Amino acid sequence: MERIFYVKTVTCRVWTKARDYISCSLNQKQGPGGLLARPVLTSYYQSEHFKTRPYDPYNVYTSPNEAILCPDSFQSMYTQMLCGLQDRHQVLRVGAVFASGLLRAIRFLQLNWEQLSVDIETGDLNPKITDPSLRECMDKILKPNPELARFVRRECSKENWEGIITRIWPNTKYIDVIVTGAMAQYIPTLDYYSGGLPKACTMYASSECYFGLNLNPMCKPSEVSYTIMPNMAYFEFLPHESNSSKFTLDSSPKLVDLVDVEVGKEYELVITTYAGLCRYRVGDILRVTGFHNSAPQFHFVRRKNVLLSIDSDKTDEAELQKAVENASRHLREFNTSVVEYTSYADTKTIPGHYVIYWELLVKNAANSPTDDVLKQCCLAMEESLNSVYRQGRVADHSIGPLEIRVVKNGTFEELMDYAISRGASINQYKVPRCVNFTPIVELLDSRLVSAHFSPGLPHWNPERRR
Ligand code: AMP
């Protein structure tokens, strides 16, 4: 039977949208007003709608409900991986909600394949799996399979993990993950592990509301447009160029209705939901690409918030991502790529400067990028940043040389573990593209491998002020 290896988990603790931590030992919590707070995926997977879903031949998951619902993330991931490995020939698509979740599963396999092979060989489940209902369920599924164990050991012990997804799941036709918006930076790593399989971004949603669907899921990630589902909420749009401070409920904001948005223009999404949010600003900037019947279709541009600012400069997520992409071209000849990054506006130095943390995938340790190359990467990033930044560097001297701090492999994994330990949802976790919370900065700095500064000034033309 055809199957999907799709990594899903629920969380023990929840964050509200504002990321206020609500401490609780169950996977949901009532707020002071009596409302239940939990991330959308926890809510969905725990619903009867999911647990008692009718059989759908197009959506047969390798993971049993007990593994998905297990609140312990190690036990959940371990057993999902075990089931995925056991069904490897039936798997036709591999995925997780966000690209980062799938890469975390690959990393999990890298760390745990030896024990997983022992379980597969003997048919005895790892004693670390202690959840009684999960053990009972796995006892029925797990059968000794020495041949499969040999295969897993042979493939996973190889140094080169290129194409590991198609080696382990040879019938995979496509990867089912979101790679738009902030997830776009995972595309090269996904391509590396999957041998360039197509990536289907099917949905655009949030914990507050489901927004839209991609009606052409096999298109290239850069061409993805999401069609808004008008029945999901009352959708309004704040033209992006308008001054956001004008938006107050008293001063009748200039909001545009769903049917009145114009192709080519950018808007910030505002929703009024059945659950009671009134004109809630989601924080996403979308560009209209067309219409499906009367429903508008949007390209996800970016999240609204500015990431980095030292002086009058403002760098947003899309600019930072472009700069990382441009800089990482210098790494190609060293067969090296940036697997994760985040940033920090370091104002302890005078003037302050941008710090970019990089975790690198160096495919050939004998030919890893030198200090000079990484310095050139710093300069390439500065060249890619906007003119206000470059003016601050060249003319105003209000910004110091950009710094790249290379951190040890697995550091961003630890960052995620830290967020999960504080209640973030493993499925909905997104690497923060900017950090300013001291324990996180300290964690990153404690994993430092090397630091490199921009060796010169970026280009800036005082006449044209560009
Ligand atoms: P959450 O806070 O975990 O509910 O995440 C919701 C946010 O994730 C959205 O407001 C978007 O910023 C982002 N997001 C969700 N789906 C997509 C998508 N298909 N492409 C890009 N970003 C997305």
Choosing from 284, 297, 425 the residue with most ligand 1 atoms within 8 A of its CB, the one to mutate for a pocket test is 284
Give the pLDDT score at 28: 58
Cα distance between residue 83 and residue 79, in whole Å: 6
Average pLDDT, the chain: 88
Give the pLDDT score at 242: 43
The three-class DSSP label of residue 63 is coil
Whether the predicted pLDDT of 264 surpasses 90: yes
Quick one: tokens of 390?
């470059």
Secondary structure letter of residue 402 according to DSSP: P
The three-class DSSP label of residue 280 is strand
CA of 219 to the centre of ligand 1 (A): 19
CA of 265 to the centre of ligand 1 (A): 20
* 3-state SS record for 428-449: CCCCCCCCCCHHHHHHHHHCEE
Q: For 344-353, what is each residue's pLDDT tens digit?
A: 999 887 788 9
Q: For 83-98, what is each residue's pLDDT tens digit?
A: 999 999 999 999 988 8
Secondary structure letter of residue 181 according to DSSP: G
Choosing from 20, 206, 269, 289 the residue with most ligand 1 atoms within 8 A of its CB, the one to mutate for a pocket test is 206
Judge whether 464 and 389 are in contact, CB under 8 Å.
Answer: no
Give the pLDDT score at 350: 79
Judge whether 63 and 47 are in contact, CB under 8 Å.
Answer: no
- Looking at ligand 1, which atom is closest to the CA of residue 201? 19
Give the pLDDT score at 245: 41
Does ligand 1 have an atom closer than 6 angstroms to the CB of 428? yes
How many residues in the chain?
Answer: 466
Average the pLDDT over 293-307 and give the result: 88
**Cis peptide bond prior to 351, omega within 30° of 0:** yes
Classify burial at 48, counting beta carbons within 10 Å of its beta carbon; exposed 0-12, middle 13-18, buried 19 or more.
exposed
- Looking at ligand 1, which atom is closest to the CA of residue 269? 10
Whether the predicted pLDDT of 236 surpasses 70: yes
CA of 98 to the centre of ligand 1 (A): 9
Q: Hey, whose CA ends up nearest to atom 7 of ligand 1?
A: 206
Whether the predicted pLDDT of 244 surpasses 60: no
Give the pLDDT score at 186: 79
Q: Hey, whose CA ends up nearest to atom 22 of ligand 1?
A: 181
Secondary structure letter of residue 458 according to DSSP: P
Q: For 141-153, what is each residue's pLDDT tens digit?
A: 999 999 999 999 9
Cα distance between residue 11 and residue 421, in whole Å: 10
For 220, residues 6+ apart whose C-beta sits below 8 A from its C-beta are none
Does ligand 1 have an atom closer than 6 angstroms to the CB of 296? no
Looking only at the bridges linking them, the beta strands covering 91-98 and 174-178 are parallel
Question: Which of 13-17, 130-134, 418-422 is predicted with the least confidence, judged by mean pLDDT?
Answer: 13-17
CA of 228 to the centre of ligand 1 (A): 14
Q: Hey, whose CA ends up nearest to atom 6 of ligand 1?
A: 206
- Looking at ligand 1, which atom is closest to the CA of residue 303? 12
CA of 284 to the centre of ligand 1 (A): 8
Average the pLDDT over 113-136 and give the result: 97
CA of 68 to the centre of ligand 1 (A): 21
For 19, residues 6+ apart whose C-beta sits below 8 A from its C-beta are none
The neighbour count for residue 269, using CB atoms within 10 Å, is: 25
Segments making up each domain of the chain, as ranges: 3-200, 222-303, 317-453
Average the pLDDT over 275-288 and give the result: 93
Average the pLDDT over 138-143 and give the result: 96
Give the pLDDT score at 1: 66
Does ligand 1 have an atom closer than 6 angstroms to the CB of 204? yes
Quick one: tokens of 239?
């033209």
Cα distance between residue 94 and residue 365, in whole Å: 30
CA of 434 to the centre of ligand 1 (A): 17
Percent of the chain, pLDDT > 70?
A: 91
DSSP string, 302-369: EESSEEE-SSS--EEHHHHHHHHHHHHGGGGGGTEEEEEEEEEEE-SSSS-EEEEEEEEEES-GGG--
Residue 263 dihedral angles phi and psi, to the nearest 5° = -60, 135
Does ligand 1 have an atom closer than 6 angstroms to the CB of 101? no
Instruction: Please identify which residue in the block is written with the tokens 């470059």.
Output: 390
Does ligand 1 have an atom closer than 6 angstroms to the CB of 178? yes
Closest CA to 443 of 420, 403, 416: 416
Does ligand 1 have an atom closer than 6 angstroms to the CB of 180? yes
The neighbour count for residue 258, using CB atoms within 10 Å, is: 15
pTM (two decimals): 0.74
- Looking at ligand 1, which atom is closest to the CA of residue 40? 4
In DSSP terms, 368 is beta-bridged to none
CA of 206 to the centre of ligand 1 (A): 5
pLDDT band at 33 (very low <50, low <70, confident <90, very high): confident
The three-class DSSP label of residue 153 is helix
Q: Hey, whose CA ends up nearest to atom 17 of ligand 1?
A: 204
CA of 129 to the centre of ligand 1 (A): 32
Does ligand 1 have an atom closer than 6 angstroms to the CB of 98? no
